[in-house]
Copies of this chain bind each other. A is one copy, B any other.
Amino acid sequence: MTPLRVVLVSPRNPLNIGAAARAMSNFGFLDLGLVNAYDVAFREAKSAVGAGDLLLAAREYTTVSEAVADCTLVVGTTAASHRELKHTIHRLERGASLIQEAGGGRVALLFGSEKFGLSNEDMSHCHWLMQIPSRPEHRSMNLGQAVAVCLYELIRDTQKASTAPAAKKAASTGDQEMLLERMMDALTVSGYFEGSAGGSQVRMRNLIRRLNLNAQDAKVWLGMFRQILWKLKSD
């Protein structure tokens, strides 16, 4: 995995700094840099409950230039579809794979301030921009969410399998027949079959088979019909 530094440029809100750090920790990115962070915000974020080592180890820089000095690829993020296009813009899906393929040196991923995004000066340090897809009517994204979505795209993996509960022992045919008998009894006593044509047992057997009951659940169903039958007969 390409080593990656998340760089927050001029963040103002301690909650956003904390949220960015939290998303990083969730997705396994531990290198956080802050450029020109509002002092109070950074201090508050660090003292928040659960800030964690990541935030305490975050480095502060005065300029973007310092923050990316040891990086070989600098990528700016934006939710906007840009005004004057000075940079190549890749949608997040494509940008993330370019970052993964970059290989070699460290990559810096820049996020602008909550209010203004990255400035033209900030962008001049970027090799290209990455656009987070968003509805044109509502482009402005929350900083913590923008960080979460970008990092998620970097770690997403379609190869990972799904997990299903361990298959349980299927009900035996005998169990199913026992259930069928009690069901037929209960339904007969209830008058369910009155007036209906024959073949009801076969229809019921197919109905039960399609349930794909496991042995344990078959016992539960059997118990229920036994109880119902007892009640029906005792009335």
Q: Which residue numbers of A lie inside 8 Å of B, CB to CB?
A: 15, 19, 22-23, 25-28, 52, 79, 81, 85-95, 132-135, 137-139, 141-142, 144-145, 148-149, 152-153, 155-158, 160-166
Contact = CB atoms under 8 A, between A and B. Distances in A.
A160 B88 CA distance: 14
Nearest to A82: B163
A23 B142 contact: yes
A28 B141 CA distance: 13
A93 B160 contact: yes
A18 to B, nearest CB: 9
B133 A163 contact: no
A27 B144 CA distance: 15
A16 B145 CA distance: 11
B22 A142 contact: yes
Contact of A165 (B88, B95, B134): B88
Contacts of A141: 22, 26
Copies of this chain present in the complex amount to: 2
Nearest to A98: B162
A41 to B, nearest CB: 16
A28 to B, nearest CB: 5
Nearest to A29: B135
Contacts of A132: 152
Contacts of A85: 163-166
Contact of A90 (B138, B153, B162): B162
A26 B138 contact: yes
Given A133-B156, A144-B144, A155-B133, A162 B25 contact: no
22 contacts: A19-B142, A22-B145, A23-B145, A26-B135, A26-B145, A52-B138, A81-B163, A85-B165, A85-B166, A86-B165, A88-B164, A89-B162, A89-B163, A89-B164, A93-B156, A94-B160, A94-B161, A144-B144, A145-B148, A148-B148, A152-B152, A153-B156
